[in-house]
Structures are given as C-alpha cells and as structure tokens.
Amino acid sequence: MIDSLLIANRGEIACRIIHTARRLGVRTVAVYSQADAGAMHVAMADEAVLIGPAAVAESYLKGDAIIAAAKRCGADAIHPGYGFLSENPDFVEAVAAAGLIFVGPSASAIRAMGLKDAAKRLMQEAGVPVVPGYHGVEQDPAFLKGEAERIGYPVLIKARAGGGGKGMRRVDDPAEFGRALEGAQREAKAAFGDPRCLIETFVATPRHIEIQVFGDAHGNVVHLFERDCSLQRRHQKVIEEAPAPGMTDEMRAAMGEAAVKAAAAIGYAGAGTVEFIVDASQGLRPDRFYFMEMNTRLQVEHPVTEAITGLDLVELQLRVASGEALPFTQGDLQIDGHAFEARLYAEDPAKGFLPATGRITYLEWPQAKAGLRIDTGVRQGDRVTPHYDPMLAKLIVHGPDRPAALKRLARALGDLRLAGLTTNAGFLKRLAEHEGFAAGAIDTGLIDRDADALTAQAEPDDVTRALAALAHHLGDAAQNGGDDGPFARLSGFRAWGRARQAVRFMEAGERIDMVVTDLGGSAYHVAPAQRPEAGVDIAVTSVNRCAETGAITLRVSVDGWQATHHLLVSRDAVSVFSDGATHVLPFYRPSAAAEETATSDRVVAPMPGTIGKLTLAAGARVAAGAPLVVLEAMKMEHTLKAPRDGTIAEILVCEGDQVEDGAVLVTLEEEA
C-alpha cells in the first residue's frame, strides 16, 4: 500500500481523498496556491506545500512544481483528483520518470481517450456504437458548416478536448453556425488549449447515462453499474443518480458490456467512466445508446456509485495503483437501493447562473442522518474567489428506493443554511421536487424547458419580513442588555399605548418600514407601516441566539401555525433561511438607496474576470439585450448585454483586460 500521498488538487476532491487516506493510515501532502493558503484541504493534510500564485496556470497546472513538492516531502505517489492535471498524459509520464506512482491510468490510455474525435474512431473499431457526426481533423469553418448541413440540423458543436460542457454549442439555424463555432473554439482554447471541434447530430430526447468502470494491472476490468446524469444545465451536470430510472436488465447488460469493451481496448487500469448518450424517445432500448467519451479519472459524481455498491472508489484507486488486483469479480457486485448527488454552487440561478464570489459569513450543513453524506471543501469564513470552479459541496443521499432517496435529498437541501453569497440551493430543491423528475421522466432538456419556474427568485412575503423585523429586535435587545429572558421588551419613553419599534429594510430601491408592537408576554404584532392591514400576530414559543454568529432560531405561532424559523442578524441585513433559499433583507441606508436608483446607462462586470471579446465599437447603435462584452470568469464565458436601446458612448476596457467586480465596462449615451 502507498505510504505517503500528495494530492495534486484542491477543494472538495482534495478533502475527499484525504478522508480515505486517513482511514487507511496513509500520510497526506496538500499543495496550494497563494489564494488557497487558508483553505480547508490545506488544514486537513498532514503537510502542505505552496506551489504558486492564484492563477491555475502558475500553480495547480504546474506539473514540475507539484512533482518537486512530492519529492521534497517524501511522497511516493500523486493522486490528481479530477480536473487540472488528472488527464494530462505528459504529467503522468513526468511522475513516472521522477520515480513516483501516479494514482490513475497509464499515459497511453489517457492519450487514447483524451481527444473525442480520435476516441470515437477507436471505439468504432472496437465495436462500441458512437453518435453519428464528423469526427475528423479538418477544421475549416466552411467545411464544418458543410458537414453540419450533411448531418442535418440541429447539430452539436463539441470541443474535441476536455469536458464539463466547455466548448459546446447547440445550433438549430445554419445562420448561427459561424458564431456558435467561433464561441465554442474560443472557449475550448481558453479551457483546454485546443480550439479544435467535432460536429455531431443532436439527439432530440437525450439521456446522459454513464458506466463506472474499474480495471487493474492484471487485466481485470469490471463495471460498477450506471449513473444517470441527465439533469444538466449548459451541458453541465446538476443532479446525478444511480441506478438510472427505467433501466432494464437487458439495457444495463448491453451498456456494461460496451463500457468494459471500451476500457479493455486501451488496457485500462484504475477508475474511469464511459459516457453514453441515449436516445430515450422510445424508452431505454439496447440499440439506442452511443459512446460520447471516456473520462480517464475519478468523476465528480462517484459518491452515488459508492452509495449503491458499498465500495470506496478512492481506496480502490490506491490499492490498484499499489499493484493489487481487484478484490471482486463482476458477479460479486450488486445494486443496493438508490442514491442522488446534488452539486451546490456559488451562483445565482435568477441571473443566468452567474457565479458568485465573496465570503461565507454563515454556514450550517443539514444535520447528519442515516443516508446523508456531504463532501465539501469549504467552511464558515472561507472566501470563494473567481480563480476556481465555484462548487461548494456535494450533497449525497441514499435510500431503499428512488422515492425515499429523493425525499431525503429535498429535505437535506431545505435544511441547508448558508449566508454571505448566493447559491443554487433553492433551485436544486425545486428540481428535487419537480413532478417530472420525481416520475423519472427526465432528459437533458428538462431544466431548459422549465427554467422560468425552476430559477424564479421568490420574493419575501409579509410573514418573512415580519420574522426578520422581530429577529432584529430580539437580537438587538439581547446585545444591549435589554433582555431579561427569552422575550425582549421594547424600551423607550411613551405616554400611552403599546411600545413600538420600527425596523427599516430596503427592497428594489424602496424603503420598507416594519413596525414591531409589543403585545405583552410572548406576543408581538408586526406590520408594514405603509400597509398596516398586512400585519401579523406572532406568538413566540422559544428563542435561541448565538452571540458569535448572530444566528437566531425562533419557534413561533402565526395564525395558529407553529413552525421553527432560522434567521441570521448581521450588521447590514437579516437573512431568513426558508426551504433551501435565503432571503436577504438589507437594512435601509440612504446611500445604498441612491445607488439602487442609478440609471441603466452602464454595463458593469458582475464578477471579477477577463475581457474575452468586445462585439461593438463606440458610436454603434444597440438594442436592449444585444451582446456587448464576453467576460471570462470561473472557467466559463459570460455574455454581458445592453441594458436598453441606445448608442455606445464609451468602451472603457480592452480585450484581455483583468477587471474587478463592479467595474464599468461600457457606457451608453444619455437619452431624453
């Protein structure tokens, strides 16, 4: 068994690997960039080595620095995790040349599957079905457009390198092909250093089903059943599950056989995933699945396979890398129950899933229960930067069957409480409760079809505002020593009547005054000053406060309905946690109100990033919604559009410029 392991990665996957290594008694070494000096994976490892600045090209992608760190610390193996150098055959060869063990497949296996076009030609020769399309080397735009017309629209443009939905565009109209190809090539070049693309037919009712395979150095290859990854947004997986809904024994056997055949064709050893696109227009049929690509590494979604098989895939990786044979055969494996994984991201679904950055000011994970696992690389107080992928955690649930597991997922997402930055938790919970998803009627277009309902940002209602105002009063009274028990009394001189206190919030640039009236005992009446008739009577049963974090838990009765509510009172706002969503009610500040009412004459950067492309010049007339700037951030492209009809007055940046969050990029001429 490997004695000392360097993990050439960061965040959630580095922490995940450390957990297994600890259990096996393996010493761990973390590497980190300057931006990650205080990261969770650095604190967890036995040792940690600084390898460079924040930029991945100068830190996590510097193979020589990582190998030097391994030699310096006496590590005898390197685990690449996923992403970064995990599928870089040159790095694998350099690791071997340094006398170290690479925890993963051989360089030749990675090369065989590293480029989608070559991999598909190889799979055709091995008898594995592939998606119809053009997988050649010619990259002339006119030629590729001709191939698209030959294949028939809609088509899918795909980068031949990498994955994760980067460098991928669906094209329905021949007139849009040129611009889509340019965008895919640009994104592929930025993400993978290779702009070349292939063209495939677009499967109308697609399901993304992948097979986990495992091989060893003794020629054994097995599959660990399937995962369904059809819930996707922009070709990126959102919720994965195992086994696949509607899967038949015949279909599973056919896909498993094809996956094992694919792995055996390249002499594969270690953990890998063979991804298939399935035409589900007539259900799951053995003659309607096609090879897409093989990921020659551990997958983000591997925990659902672990949940239904009872295996630790990282442990298997370490054992196989140490030269051991697989401890089981295909016949020893069986499926136990059902599992889901939801990817929690720092992003704003209501704003086109723009990545969010900032500090996690408060974090409370769902309580650990049977069937719930949380893989994460962040803690309260950590800062999410624009330098890396914005995934915060993976919530994994397991149950005896699909309905039970799905209920556990929805409950876990609803119990999550995080403040400081926007997340997709509410979006994930709505997905978990989606009628079609619950029925198993899923394909890769489900999220796009119901995007408005799934991404709608729920506005705080009068009860939410009332709870926020009451929580602020109770927390404020406690801080000022005005609380002689769980129920603070309102203070201040009054000649007659009941004591009242106003709490001022701001929503959409408008000031909202919530008036808290002390009714005596444990009862309060809270109403908007502008709409007294919307007031509610709140009877407080219990109050629990955390002076350190500002968290308040209220057990209250509103109109006879008793429930427990969780809130966070900070210097600037009250956050109300509700069913996975976080309603943030900022306190009224005159300066902030003025800023909210600023004119829409500017295009500003919604996050730090790099200017990838400017589409128009100063003086150009634009319509509302016209693309103006392509901003590269969080390893993705984000198109910023004109806020209104108008004329471009000034462009304040150049392509390649680094910009900060809130930087003004383009201004429009003032109009009467």
- Catalytic site positions: 297
Q: What's the rounded Cα separation, in Å, for the pair 189 and 87?
A: 16
CA 397 to chain centre: 17
Q: Is 450 exposed, middle or buried (0-12, 13-18, 19+ CB in 10 A)?
A: middle
How many helical (H) and strand (E) elements, i.e. helices and strands, does the chain have? 18, 39
According to DSSP, residue 130 is labeled: B
> To which residue do tokens 């989606």 refer?
434
> To which residue do tokens 């709870």 refer?
467
Give the relative orientation of helices 116-126 and 249-265 as an angle to the nearest 10 degrees. 110
Strand pairing class (354-355; 27-33): unpaired
Q: What is the DSSP string of 294-335?
A: EE-S--TTHHHHHHHH---HHHHHHHHHTTPPPS--GGG---
| Closest among 216, 6, 159, 2 to 91, alpha carbons compared | 6
Provide the Cα torsion 424, 7, 225, 367; round to 10°: -40
**Side chain identity at residue 460, one-letter code:** P
SS3 253: helix
Q: Do 66 and 4 contact (CB within 8 A), yes or no?
A: no
Q: Do 339 and 241 contact (CB within 8 A), yes or no?
A: yes
Phi-psi region of 352 (alpha: psi -120 to 50; beta: other; left: phi over 0): left
Q: What are phi and psi of 459, to 5 degrees?
A: -85, 145
Q: What's the rounded Cα separation, in Å, for the pair 85 and 82?
A: 8
**Side chain identity at residue 658, one-letter code:** Q
Strand pairing class (362-364; 358-359): unpaired
Q: What's the rounded Cα separation, in Å, for the pair 121 and 272?
A: 19
CA 640 to chain centre: 21
Give, for 512, the enclosing helix (H) or strand (E). strand 510-520
| Residues ≥6 apart with Cβ < 8 Å to 490 | 473, 477, 499, 500, 501, 516, 518
Give, for 394, the enclosing helix (H) or strand (E). strand 391-399
Q: What's the rounded Cα separation, in Å, for the pair 193 and 191?
A: 6
- 426: number of Cβ within 10 Å: 25
Q: Do 31 and 72 contact (CB within 8 A), yes or no?
A: no
**Per-residue b or e along 65-79, where b marks 16 or more CB atoms closer than 10 Å to that residue's CB:** bbbebbeebebbbbb
Q: What's the rounded Cα separation, in Å, for the pair 543 and 431?
A: 32
3-state secondary structure 173-231: CHHHHHHHHHHHHHHHHHHHCCCCEEEEECCCCEEEEEEEEEECCCCCEEEEEEEEEEE
